[in-house]
Copies of this chain bind each other. A is one copy, B any other.
């Protein structure tokens, strides 16, 4: 694990690391905020970013440092895909390949060797929180935005024992039913649509997956991708039908940007902190 940069802020440290990741067989980048320099954090939140993001956007734009300042909870933000490769079609579109790993374990030729973002987050980042940052395994939660909200929901629903709570901003809740998800899943998982269901939050609920705590979703009503790509109501309907507790806040005037995330991030952090207690 190599520390590339560290910035003091709000009494803590925003750090940028790279490491040789076994799951992706590439060097991967991630960032952390440690709220008290020199202190071991007592809990951690994993943040998963959306399409086109790197490990930097959230740290630069969300205001998370101010929210976690002085506390005992760290945050870790992995990059959204492997980098440094040149697979067929990897760099052509913003919504597939680099910057768009979609938090799945790819099975298609070429991508299957590196695009193992589901395992990378759920195993490698999760274990690194314990080994490198000394966070107890029962004090880890997960959240994210858009594609990263999708990642948080599917990882949390498939591994309820590993994550104390799960929340999302404007998540892609039903990727098998929107263009973004269909394109990505075809590219990473092939044409067998049955295989796609293992990475679709709505389908996971239908097939019996649950998280014991209420899930939290904030969705801007003025989001340029709502409802076509985000399909929030589909998730609401299946959660109601299958007894998964869920709070959805549909918020007037807010869009898909970091201005939206920053405005409600403190609520999400408080939500996760309440489950660490």
Residues of A within 8 A of B (CB): 7-11, 14, 37, 60-61, 63, 65-66, 220, 222, 253-255, 257-260, 262-263
**B contact residues around A260 at 8 Å (CB):** 7-9
Beta-carbon contact of A262 and B61 below 8 Å: no
Closest 3 CB pairs of A and B: A9-B259, A7-B259, A8-B253
**B contact residues around A7 at 8 Å (CB):** 255, 257, 259-260
Kindly provide the distance from the CB of A177 to the nearest chain B CB, expressed in whole angstroms: 28
Beta-carbon contact of B65 and A259 below 8 Å: yes
A8 to B263, CA, bound (A): 9
Kindly provide the distance from the CB of A59 to the nearest chain B CB, expressed in whole angstroms: 8
Beta-carbon contact of A10 and B263 below 8 Å: yes
Beta-carbon contact of A65 and B9 below 8 Å: no
Task: Identify which of B65, B220, B222, B263 contacts A262 (C-beta below 8 A).
Answer: B65
A183 to B11, CA, bound (A): 35
Closest to A6 in B: B255
Kindly provide the distance from the CB of A67 to the nearest chain B CB, expressed in whole angstroms: 9
**B contact residues around A66 at 8 Å (CB):** 63, 66, 262
Kindly provide the distance from the CB of A150 to the nearest chain B CB, expressed in whole angstroms: 22
